């Protein structure tokens, strides 16, 4: 007779590929049996009438990221992963952010120290490369990729993070040679600066003008430029937090031309609009970049989710308290829009929002929901099949959902350390009622039962989705098609 630590019975199990009635047997933190009528386990969970889904993988969130100028993120690894668990997410991938003048390895080591002993769910790290020196390009970044940090983010905006096109090309060449995935924040920094100067000169400094300073045209231009740079290097990239039609059109163009460009969007582009930035300084709560657009663009983003344009949905959780001198009111003051910290909270609400308005409304199938929020992120960042699915041998990261549970989102019910949610008052149908990480309950029936430090760091494999296309001498549509090794040589010749 099989000896199971836990058996989940009578539920409807869904993965990215199939939906079935099955029991799940768990032993030593892994799924070891799928079937009907499994022998009893030491712990029994009756999921009759419930959905049994892979735990979510939130592949784009910010926790305890070092900030300058007296700012501080509200969530550390303890509160952030607590909030994730209560929303059905079992793996998070935040960012080890390099500061200019700092070594990339030092940034990663510092981030490990910030995470140690705090996380309730498992976690990996992306890197943010803000200072691609020869030492970073030739030594640190390749070594870190080899050690399991196989993704990094490139910024085309923000003065303290933005890189120029040549720096981006050098980083993409390293990604190509070493099998890493590059993520790109695509907005044109010079256009934003020019528009911001013009708006401030006219006295337009309220939060609502943040959207006017970052129109879709600047996202469109930067997205097209990022795609062009990736085409030149022949390397896949992910365009993060895509907000609407203009950037989507560029990504559709890339797909039509055979380029491996992945796209991510976030709940703020499905549920918020630029109008949420109005209403005086309260609009600061919804200041994020790119900003939310309008209702017409919400429909276009939903279309991109349903037809496969988007690979993943992430929260881009960037938590700043509203009424806080280290948050949305720097120094305790209401400041012009360009000085408001960018970002909104969303780790806990990501999955319920998308389930309610995606699956329950018929915009998405249940399998698409699982793919977008769990399986595809795990694949994209080298964690599948360990994470993001329910299969023999996979970690028993499982969220059990009541698909009929109705919840009115209120910040007092959430488990982050932010003093607001931009989704206050929204009513959703469907909420995770039990969350297991490696077979251990961390959220159950309204009670947080996970312990800080239970979450483990996850070294990531080189993602298959980051492989460049196979090029041949006959493929004249790509630069360097006749010299597929040239970029690898270039990646090792950065002398500053």
For the whole model, what pTM was predicted?
Answer: 0.95
Tens of pLDDT, residue by residue over 26-36, are 999 999 999 99
Compute the residue count for the chain: 496
Pairing status of strand 181-185 against strand 237-239? parallel
Checking if the pLDDT of 496 tops 70, the result is no
Q: What is the DSSP letter of 344?
A: B
Checking if the pLDDT of 479 tops 50, the result is no
Asked, for residue 405, whether it belongs to a domain, the answer is no
Q: Which tokens is 371 given?
A: 């793919």
Asked, for residue 27, whether it belongs to a domain, the answer is no
CA distance 322 to 325: 9
Q: What is the DSSP letter of 333?
A: S
Asked, for residue 20, whether it belongs to a domain, the answer is no
Asked, for residue 263, whether it belongs to a domain, the answer is yes
Asked, for residue 199, whether it belongs to a domain, the answer is yes
The percentage of residues in the chain with a pLDDT greater than 70, rounded to a whole number, is 94
- Please give the average per-residue pLDDT across 368-394, as a whole number: 98
Q: Which tokens is 230 given?
A: 């990736």
Tens of pLDDT, residue by residue over 248-300, are 999 999 999 999 999 999 999 999 999 999 999 999 999 999 999 999 999 99
Question: Which residues neighbour 86 within 8 Å (Cβ) at sequence distance 6 or greater?
Answer: 348, 414, 415, 432, 435, 443, 448
Asked, for residue 82, whether it belongs to a domain, the answer is yes
Provide the number of structural domains found in the chain: 1
Give me the domain span that covers residue 272. Answer: 56-380
CA distance 444 to 446: 6
287: domain CATH number is: 3.20.20.140
Go through 460-473 and write b for each residue having 16 or more CB atoms within 10 A of its CB, e for each that does not.
bebbebbebbebee
Identify the three-state secondary structure at position 194.
helix
Asked, for residue 322, whether it belongs to a domain, the answer is yes
Asked, for residue 359, whether it belongs to a domain, the answer is yes
């Amino acid at each position: 007779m099989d000896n199971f630590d836990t058996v989940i019975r009578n539920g409807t199990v869904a993965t990215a590929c199939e939906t079935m009635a099955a029991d799940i047997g768990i032993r030593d933190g892994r799924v070891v049996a799928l079937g009907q009528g499994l022998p009893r386990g030491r712990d029994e969970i009756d999921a009759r009438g419930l959905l049994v889904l892979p735990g979510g993988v939130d592949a784009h969130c910010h926790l305890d990221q070092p900030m300058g100028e007296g700012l501080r993120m509200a969530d550390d690894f303890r509160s952030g992963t607590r909030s994730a668990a209560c929303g059905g997410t079992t793996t998070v991938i935040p960012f080890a952010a390099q500061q200019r003048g700092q070594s990339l390895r030092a940034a990663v080591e510092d981030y490990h120290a910030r995470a140690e002993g705090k996380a309730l769910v498992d976690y990996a790290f992306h890197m943010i490369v803000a200072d691609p020196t020869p030492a970073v390009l030739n030594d640190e970044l390749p070594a870190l990729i080899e050690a399991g940090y196989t993704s990094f983010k490139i910024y085309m905006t923000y003065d303290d993070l933005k890189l120029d096109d040549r720096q981006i090309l050098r980083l993409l060449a390293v990604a190509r040679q070493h099998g890493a995935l590059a993520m790109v924040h695509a907005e044109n920094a010079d256009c934003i600066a020019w528009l911001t100067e013009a708006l401030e000169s006219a006295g337009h400094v309220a939060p609502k003008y943040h959207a006017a300073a970052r129109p879709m045209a600047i996202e469109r231009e930067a997205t097209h430029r990022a795609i062009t740079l990736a085409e030149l290097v022949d390397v896949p990239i992910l365009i993060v937090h895509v907000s609407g039609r203009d950037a989507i059109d560029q990504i559709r163009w890339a797909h039509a031309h055979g380029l491996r460009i992945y796209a991510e969007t976030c709940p703020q582009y499905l549920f918020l609009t630029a109008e949420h930035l109005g209403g005086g300084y309260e609009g600061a709560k919804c200041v994020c970049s790119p900003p939310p657009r309008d209702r017409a663009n919400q429909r276009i983003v939903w279309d991109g989710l349903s037809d496969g344009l988007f690979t993943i949905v992430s929260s881009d959780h960037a938590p700043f308290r509203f009424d806080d001198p280290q948050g949305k009111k720097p120094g305790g003051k209401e400041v012009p829009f360009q000085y408001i910290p960018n970002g909104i909270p969303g780790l806990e609400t990501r999955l319920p929002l998308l389930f309610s308005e995606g699956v329950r409304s018929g915009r998405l199938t249940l399998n698409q929901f699982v793919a977008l929020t769990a399986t595809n992120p795990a694949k994209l960042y080298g964690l599948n099949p360990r994470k993001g699915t329910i299969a023999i041998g996979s970690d028993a990261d499982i969220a059990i959902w009541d698909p009929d549970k109705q919840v009115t989102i209120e910040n007092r019910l959430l488990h982050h350390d932010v003093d607001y949610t931009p989704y206050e008052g929204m009513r959703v149908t469907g909420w995770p009622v039990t969350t297991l990480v490696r077979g251990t309950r961390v959220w159950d029936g309204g009670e947080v039962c996970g312990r800080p430090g239970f979450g483990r760091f996850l070294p990531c494999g080189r993602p298959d989705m980051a492989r460049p296309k196979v090029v041949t001498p006959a493929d004249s549509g790509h630069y360097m098609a006749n010299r597929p090794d040239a970029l690898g040589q270039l990646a090792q010749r950065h002398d500053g």
